Amino acid sequence: MSQMGEDKEITDLLALGLDHPQAIGRLVPRVYGELRRMASRHLAKERRDHTWQTTELVHEVFLKLVGRSDLRLEDRLHFFSLAAILMRRVLVDYARRAKADKRIDRSRIVVIEELEGQEPASRVAAGRGPDLDILALDRALTRLSELDQERAKVVELRYFGGLTLPETAEALGVSEATVSRRWRAARLWLRREIRRQGAG
């Protein structure tokens, strides 16, 4: 099936609702692979002793989606946009629980350079500044959302959702140039805010 045909089928299934058993049964195999890729990208940044597995993270997101009669998703991108938001919440909640448990230290690590599109290894090789946990990023992103929802949404879709620039533009209904400008501005703001938190 072509990508266009696959997208249309996903859209048709979403139109039935996430509380429709038959729709869910057909939807899951069509989105499962992409959700696993999203989860894998995030868990690859975790500490080696992290206990989460890709499948567990995907299932946690599904549990927050399936059976929801209040959600009406328009298309594939809308679905993955929501999945990105939920994945962020799952990871942040986990980091909070891990931080509260003094016996373990499993908070997911986020480095500023990841927001700049650089590989974590490049930061290590260059010997640049300290790692930042996901809670710092979440606080900064929440603050940015209060000031500029459009820029915060771009970060959520690109960083947590793993959407490309064209996919983000399509999901938000704006041009790629607009997404690129918001992405650059948001990264700069987040860097300053996270460093301000560290200095406070």
State whether 2 and 77 are in the same domain: yes
pLDDT band for position 51 (50/70/90)? low
State whether 124 and 98 are in the same domain: no
What digits encode the pLDDT tens for the residues 142-177? 999 999 999 998 988 888 777 889 988 988 889 999
State whether 30 and 76 are in the same domain: yes
**Which of residues 44, 77, 106 is at a domain's end?**
106
Residue 103 has pLDDT above 60, yes or no: no
State whether 50 and 75 are in the same domain: yes
Question: Whole-angstrom Cα distance, residue 82 to residue 26?
Answer: 19
What digits encode the pLDDT tens for the residues 24-36? 888 888 889 888 8
Residue 112 has pLDDT above 70, yes or no: no
State whether 131 and 200 are in the same domain: yes
State whether 68 and 21 are in the same domain: yes
**Which of residues 57, 81, 106 is at a domain's end?**
106
Mean model confidence pLDDT for the chain: 76
CA 52 to chain centre: 16
Residue 170 belongs to what domain range?
108-200
Residue 75 has pLDDT above 90, yes or no: no
State whether 114 and 96 are in the same domain: no
Partners of 132 in the β-ladder: 110
pLDDT band for position 113 (50/70/90)? very low
Task: Identify which of 183, 176, 190 has the alpha carbon closest to the alpha carbon of residue 141.
Answer: 190
**Which of residues 56, 71, 106 is at a domain's end?**
106
CB of 91 within 8 A of CB of 42? yes
Per the structure block, which two tokens stand in for 143?
A: 């603050």
State whether 98 and 151 are in the same domain: no
pLDDT: which is higher, 31 or 94: 31
* Whole-number pLDDT of residue 39: 82
Residue 95 has pLDDT above 80, yes or no: no
State whether 138 and 85 are in the same domain: no
What digits encode the pLDDT tens for the residues 17-26? 888 888 888 8
Residue 199 has pLDDT above 90, yes or no: no
| Structural domain total, the chain | 2
Per the structure block, which two tokens stand in for 172?
A: 């938000």
Percent of the chain, pLDDT > 70?
Answer: 73
CATH number, domain of 180, equals: 1.10.10.10
State whether 51 and 82 are in the same domain: yes
* Whole-number pLDDT of residue 131: 46
20 Cβ partners below 8 Å, 6+ apart?
none
